[in-house]
């Protein structure tokens, strides 16, 4: 699998540095994908915008997408016993888009994917987006997966597993997990997008390439 468009100037210098640090498979927003992706993972910390990006990518590629949180969370926020089997079934198809989450299925997902889109946004950006999203979901009682809603905002002080506390604890998790993928999954192409502008630019590029 090849990528075209190495970039010039600051982009080119960053691309060279990234490839030395993370490996030859790390691409940037200026890179085309050849062949186009068919089995896509979207990685990033809470608040990075994985689900929105996955929706946009799936629409461009014309492939199925599922929200992995919907497979994991049952009623009352209890893990669904069929989670791993459901992920295995969904990713057995020839084309799909899904978020790269949950320790139990990350290895399977990486093995079956051909491309991982890494939303490596600045920590202040992801934490702000996560906080805003959580507050709005709670205020509007937005129904999430299988009838669940965000708990009361006061539970951030009493529940160690609250999404805001989880988001803070895991704010660097993708930067710890993604770089090791090249050695374990050498076929996987990794596209690293560091800003919201990068995300929009790369998705527009994908749309032009696929169109």
Query: CA angle at residue 101 from 90 to 112, to 5 degrees?
Result: 45
Give the per-residue pLDDT at 10: 46
130, with CB counted inside 10 A (0-12, 13-18, 19+), is: buried
Which of helix, strand or coil describes residue 63? coil
Count of Cβ atoms closer than 10 Å to residue 198 Cβ: 19
Pick the CATH number of 2-210 from 2.30.30.40, 3.40.190.10, 3.40.50.300, 3.30.420.40: 3.40.50.300
Q: Residue 96 has which token pair? A: 């799909």
Give the per-residue pLDDT at 183: 87
Give the per-residue pLDDT at 182: 83
- Residues 6 or more apart whose CB falls under 8 angstroms from that of 168 comprise 127
Count of Cβ atoms closer than 10 Å to residue 116 Cβ: 24
Mode of pairing for the β-strands spanning 96-99 and 39-43:
parallel
Domain limits, the chain: 2-210
Give the per-residue pLDDT at 86: 98
- Among 75, 76, 129, 66, CA closest to 101: 66
Residues of the chain with pLDDT under 50: 1-14, 17
Tokens 């937005």 correspond to: 142
- Residues 6 or more apart whose CB falls under 8 angstroms from that of 200 comprise none
pLDDT tens, position by position, 112-131: 999 999 999 999 999 999 99
């Amino acid at each position: 699998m090849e990528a075209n468009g190495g970039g010039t100037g600051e982009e080119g210098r960053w691309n060279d540095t990234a490839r030395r640090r993370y490996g030859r498979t790390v691409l940037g927003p200026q890179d085309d994908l050849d062949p186009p992706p068919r089995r896509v993972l979207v990685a990033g910390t809470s608040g990075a915008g994985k689900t929105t990006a996955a929706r946009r990518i799936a629409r461009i590629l014309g492939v199925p997408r599922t929200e992995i949180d919907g497979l994991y969370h049952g009623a009352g926020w209890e893990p669904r016993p069929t989670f791993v089997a459901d992920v295995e079934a969904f990713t057995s198809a020839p084309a799909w888009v899904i978020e790269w989450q949950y320790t139990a299925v990350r290895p399977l997902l990486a093995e079956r994917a051909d491309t991982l889109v890494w939303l490596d946004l600045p920590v202040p950006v992801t934490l702000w987006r996560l906080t805003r999203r959580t507050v709005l979901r709670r205020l509007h009682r937005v129904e999430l997966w299988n009838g669940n809603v965000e708990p009361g905002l006061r539970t951030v002080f009493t529940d160690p597993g609250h999404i805001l506390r989880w988001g803070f604890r895991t704010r660097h998790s993708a930067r710890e997990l993604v770089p090791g993928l090249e050695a374990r999954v050498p076929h996987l192409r990794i596209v690293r997008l560091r800003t919201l502008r990068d995300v929009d630019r790369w998705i527009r590029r994908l749309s032009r390439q696929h169109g």
